[in-house]
Amino acid sequence: MKEKVLYISNNLRSYRTRLGYTQEKMAKMLNVSRNTYNDYEVNPQKVRIETLQDIADILQCNLSDFFVQLNVTESNDNS
């Protein structure tokens, strides 16, 4: 289970940075604070599945993509 949580956390960050989105931009699109969005990336087991689906829609990926190990090269590190 811990491994899956790490996948989700890493994948949220990877997909976001690949699109050049900051946590602030994601927070605005989701209508939450930046701290709340940061919590989604750091502690994803607390995120509602509906919110993860909203994030997947914004990041142009499938919800299931968050739950697998990816070999994604990050182009920049926007926090």
| pLDDT tens digits, 40-62 | 999 988 899 999 999 999 999 99
User: Which residues have C-beta within 8 Å of that of residue 57, sequence separation ≥ 6?
Assistant: none
Specify the number of domains making up the chain: 1
Say which CATH number the domain at 40 has: 1.10.260.40
Looking at the domain assignment, is residue 76 inside a domain?
no
**pLDDT beneath 50, residues of the chain:** 72-79
Boundaries of domain holding 51: 2-66
Looking at the domain assignment, is residue 72 inside a domain?
no
User: Which residues have C-beta within 8 Å of that of residue 10, sequence separation ≥ 6?
Assistant: 70
Contact by Cβ (8 Å): 23, 78: yes
The rounded distance, in Å, linking the Cα atoms of 33 and 25 is 10
pLDDT at position 76, please?
A: 44
pLDDT at position 68, please?
A: 85
pLDDT at position 3, please?
A: 61
pLDDT at position 69, please?
A: 77
pLDDT at position 33, please?
A: 97
